[in-house]
Copies of this chain bind each other. A is one copy, B any other.
Amino acid sequence: MGDRTVVINPNSDRAVTAAMDRNLESLRFAGGPAICCETLDDAPPGIETARHADQVVGPLCDLIAREDHRAGAFVIACFGDPGLASARETTNKPVIGICEGGVTVALNHGEHYGILTNLPDDIGAGLRQIRGLGLDARLAGIEACGIAVTDLGDAQRAEPELAAAAQRLKDRGADVVILGCAGMVPYASGVERAVGVRTIDPVHAATGIAMTAARSCNKGT
């Protein structure tokens, strides 16, 4: 049985996949298990609406079914955790969503966490998602940087806006900040340096959980 961790970017933006992949380099070792990042070509360039999220579930589950024989665990690398329940019906390997995975890891790094999101209109749905996960007790808040997922590639604009939003989270009591969109992962170090508050790349965090689970000694043979 394989033990590779398959990290799926459920949108079709290959630049996002490449950025994730670079951040995951620190988890790869010569003799260690493989981490493999996949783009869902059959998907919109960014998941910006509920409809987008619903649309990617089919192709996402198809990809999981194809990779299942050589995978030890999966990561769904979109902060809306699209298709997480359906994916867990598709395979009995662990499937980690980067929202659930990123938030649960963040709880180990600070007393109250904040989430950076894209647009003000995303905040309500974000709160519902966190409430659905039962993880709202230590949420300091969600702040929007004002940049749509498809525009996050513009580092000149994105990094300062993300830092400003992270500062607002810190002012609201957050001592750990989560990048609430896979497209933000290139800015993890920059935000952490600028604001002085620990910043979680949720793809990295969720991949750590996935890899650890794939190597747990109490898995059925």
Q: How many copies does the complex hold?
A: 6
A55 within 8 A of B: yes
Output the least CB separation between A89 and chain B (Å): 6
Q: Which residues of A contact B (CB under 8 A)?
A: 23, 25-27, 29-32, 49-51, 54-55, 57-58, 61, 83, 85-86, 88-90, 94, 96-97, 100-101, 104-105, 107-109, 111-112, 123-125, 127-129, 131-135, 137-138, 173, 175, 188-189, 191-193, 199, 201, 204-209, 211-213, 215-218, 220
Q: Is the beta-carbon distance between B26 and A29 smaller than 8 angstroms?
A: no
Measured between beta carbons, the chain B residues less than 8 angstroms from A54 are 54, 57-58, 83, 86
The answer on a CB contact under 8 Å between A49 and B83 is no
Q: Tell me the minimal C-beta distance from A68 to chain B in angstroms.
A: 15
For A96, A123, A124, A216, the residue with the greatest tally of chain B CB atoms inside 10 Å of its CB is A216
In the complex formed, the residue of B with least CB distance to A215 is B26
Least distance between A26 CB and chain B CB atoms (Å): 4
Query: Chain A binding site: helix, strand, loop or mixed by DSSP?
Result: helix
Do A89 and B51 have beta carbons less than 8 Å apart? yes
Q: Which residue of B50, B85, B105, B218 contacts A192 across the interface (Cβ within 8 Å)?
A: B218
Partner of A137, one of B26, B89, B131, B191: B131
Nearest B-chain residue to A82, judged by Cβ: B54
